[in-house]
Amino acid sequence: MSRSKRGILADDRAGSVRGVTEAQERLEAATAHLDPPFAVIDLEAFDANAADLLRRAGDKPLRLASKSVRVRELNRRALDAGLRGVLAFTLPEALWLAGHGFEDVVVAYPTVDRAALRELADGPARSTVTVMVDCPEHLDLAVAAVREAGGGPILVALDVDAGWWPLGGRVRIGAKRSPLRTPEQAAALAREVLARGLVLDGLMSYEAHIAGVGDRPPGRLGVLAGAAIAGMQAASARELAARRAAVVAAVRAVAPLRFVNGGGTGSVERTAAEPAVTEVAAGSGLFAPTLFDAYRAFTPRPAALFALPVVRRPSAEVATVLGGGYLASGAAGADRLPSPVLPPGLRLDHREGAGEVQTPVTGEAARQLRVGDRVWFRHAKAGELCERFDAVHLVRGREVVDTVPTYRGEGCAFL
Ligand SMILES: Cc1ncc(COP(=O)(O)O)c(C=O)c1O
């Protein structure tokens, strides 16, 4: 089965053309009253993805990576489905979520936002929001905020590097995140946390090169590249399991830890299997953007799509839609482009890609498109799609059952 035809929508029967056609027909029926551009979330796919993530996590809790959703209503839906707690992406977001009743919010990335730290120290979120630290400067900022706000101590968590450094460290694989790597380094910062009157709440180490890199990449060399990626990931996971256990033991000797968080959508079962890990994070698997088609261990159902209108026909082979240049972050490459998925048989123009104000699509199906038709796309990543739309339409079956604001629609562009 070709990748472009696999799992396009919830009711895509194993990629059959009939399934694809049904999926489009259903979406068109649900949204006939809307004028594109607009974005939809297929609730059946979203709920099935949440259930599958929970199944993969086994008996370990799953914390919601909210950057990969960015819709308050859908954050809530994921928690109602059984995810527990939020892994937020900025402190202002965490404060905002706490103000809306979300509990147990851990900010996954360090903050140097002094006003937000003061607000945290001084307000009710202090008992529900935890900030990430990996160096003494982060502690200085937290302590200064507590002093200036006249508030109580802040909850902090240590971020520990999860990268793989084979060949005696001459090769370094993994995201460039925390400088903390060894049990000794982590324990030393844990002692600093206590010495400064802050509260050590948890520990996190995110293996981006395992959780965020698919081992079934598309393309001519996909099989070979996939085998190499899988080998790298297996070796790294072995090293990480031992080191993470040693780091956790060393830090626990300094102070108790409420949580040890690791992993992401691409590594849920593997990370959950580590005894030292108490919970796993995941978010992207709910929307299932195209980058998450490339994993062998799981096949999420695409839940997030956006529709763009055909506005012109420059030639018989090409249809041009309005907008579309919604590129995903990361190292620039074809895999960061959105994909036209419905009708099946479309592709982007390799010279123009996805454009700022218009996007030509070609391929067999382009010949049939008329001005006013819609083309349905998937984004390469999850939550970033929501920075392009004020609202998402929630589709169930052949109906839009609700329309809810994205973070952007609530006036909240946190990043
Ligand atoms: C700290 C952290 N944990 C977990 C994740 C996994 O999120 P997702 O499941 O959306 O890939 C990420 C993603 O970048 C992350 O930065």
Q: Ligand 1, atom 12: nearest CA belongs to which residue? A: 264
**Nearest CA-CA partner of 381 in 263, 257, 315, 283:** 283
pLDDT at 13 over 80: no
Instruction: HSE, CB side, 13 Å, CA atoms: give it for residue 319.
Output: 24
H/E run at residue 313: strand 304-315
Q: Give the mean pLDDT of 260-283.
A: 98
pLDDT for the residue 151: 86
pLDDT for the residue 17: 58
Closest approach atom of ligand 1 to CA 109: 1
pLDDT at 287 over 70: yes
pLDDT at 408 over 50: yes
Pocket probe for ligand 1: among 52, 60, 87, the residue whose CB has the most ligand atoms within 8 Å is: 87
pLDDT for the residue 5: 38
H/E run at residue 260: strand 259-262
Task: Decide: residue 231, CB within 10 A, 0-12 exposed, 13-18 middle, 19+ buried.
Answer: exposed
pLDDT for the residue 137: 98
Q: pLDDT confidence of 43, banded at 50, 70, 90?
A: very high
pLDDT at 380 over 80: yes
pLDDT for the residue 6: 42
**CA-to-CA distance for 63 and 279, rounded, in angstroms?**
7
Query: Parallel, antiparallel, or unpaired for β 129-133 and 155-159?
Result: parallel
Per-residue CA distances from 37 to 28, 82, 328, 340, 391 (Å): 13, 32, 18, 14, 11
Q: What is the mean pLDDT of the chain?
A: 94
Q: Ligand 1, atom 4: nearest CA belongs to which residue? A: 264
Q: Which residues contact 43 (CB under 8 A, 6 or more apart)?
A: 303, 394, 395, 396, 401
**CA-to-CA distance for 121 and 143, rounded, in angstroms?**
9
pLDDT for the residue 3: 41
pLDDT at 10 over 60: no
Estimate to the nearest angstrom the gap between the alpha carbon of 35 and the chain centroid: 28
pLDDT at 11 over 50: no
Ligand 1 mean position, distance from CA 341 (Å):
25
Q: Give the mean pLDDT of 167-179.
A: 95
- 73-131 pLDDT, tens per residue? 999 999 999 999 999 999 999 999 999 999 999 999 999 999 999 999 999 999 999 99
- 185-224 pLDDT, tens per residue? 999 999 999 999 999 999 999 999 999 999 999 888 889 9
pLDDT for the residue 9: 55
Ligand 1 mean position, distance from CA 402 (Å):
27
**CA-to-CA distance for 31 and 399, rounded, in angstroms?**
7
Q: Give the mean pLDDT of 9-36.
A: 76
Ligand 1 mean position, distance from CA 263 (Å):
7
Q: Give the mean pLDDT of 313-319.
A: 98
Ligand 1 mean position, distance from CA 65 (Å):
6
Q: Which residues contact 389 (CB under 8 A, 6 or more apart)?
A: 37, 38, 39, 306, 406, 408, 409
**CA-to-CA distance for 104 and 116, rounded, in angstroms?**
17
Q: Give the mean pLDDT of 30-52.
A: 98
**CA-to-CA distance for 409 and 145, rounded, in angstroms?**
30
Ligand 1 mean position, distance from CA 68 (Å):
8
- 53-88 pLDDT, tens per residue? 999 999 999 999 999 999 999 999 999 999 999 999
**Nearest CA-CA partner of 5 in 339, 382, 383, 381:** 339
Q: Ligand 1, atom 9: nearest CA belongs to which residue? A: 282
pLDDT for the residue 220: 80
Closest approach atom of ligand 1 to CA 382: 10
261 and 202 Cβ atoms separated by less than 8 Å:
yes
Would you state the structure tokens that stand for residue 227, as one six-digit string? 């085998």
Q: Ligand 1, atom 6: nearest CA belongs to which residue? A: 264
**Nearest CA-CA partner of 100 in 133, 132, 66:** 66
Task: Decide: residue 309, CB within 10 A, 0-12 exposed, 13-18 middle, 19+ buried.
Answer: middle
pLDDT for the residue 21: 81
Residues having CB closer than 6 A to ligand 1 are 65, 68, 87, 108, 206, 211-212, 264-265, 281-285, 382
φ, ψ of residue 240 to 5 degrees: the values are: -65, -40
Ligand 1 mean position, distance from CA 264 (Å):
5
